[in-house]
Amino acid sequence: QKEVEQDPGPLSVPEGAIVSLNCTYSNSAFQYFMWYRQYSRKGPELLMYTYSSGNKEDGRFTAQVDKSSKYISLFIRDSQPSDSATYLCALHSGTYKYIFGTGTRLKVLA
C-alpha cells in the first residue's frame, strides 16, 4: 500500500467553481501536512502548511486535515484560470522524510 494516495485527475472545472483536492495516507506518524502548487516546467511552490487536525484558511485556499480518517483536503474557492496547475500533497513526520502525492492536475476553464 502506498503511503499516500492522490487522484491524478485531470480535473476540469469552470472559472468560479469550488475545487476540492484530496489525499489519503496510511501512516499515523505524519504530523505536518502541506500542499504545493506546481506549474508546468516549474518547481513545486508551497501553498499551505498545517499541523494537526482542523482547517486553515489563506485567501481563497482552505486546507483541511482529518487525522482520525487520515484524510487531507485543499479547497479552492472562486477558482481562476491562473489556478490551473498540478497540486501535490505532502506529509512530514518531523524527520528527513517527506512523502509526496503524485499530484492532481487541475484545469480551470475561462
Q: Which residues bind other proteins (CB under 8 A)?
A: 8, 31-32, 34, 36, 41-46, 49, 51, 88, 90, 92, 94-98, 100-103
Name every residue whose Cβ is closer than 8 Å to that of residue 74 and which is 6 or more positions away in sequence: 20, 21, 22, 35, 47, 48, 61, 62, 63, 64, 87, 89
Contact 90, 25 (CB under 8 A): no
Give 81 or 98: the residue with its C-beta nearer to other proteins: 98
> Which residue, 61, 81, 80, is CA-closest to 72?
61
Residue with cell 492522490: 6
Residue 65 CB, nearest approach to other proteins (Å): 13
Write down the least CB distance from residue 18 to other proteins, Å: 25
**Kind and range of the H or E run holding 50:** strand 45-51
Q: How far is the CB of 108 from other proteins (least distance, A)?
A: 22
CB-wise, 8 or 16, nearer to other proteins? 8
Least distance to other proteins, CB of residue 49, Å: 5
- Nearer to other proteins (CB atom), residue 33 or residue 79: 33
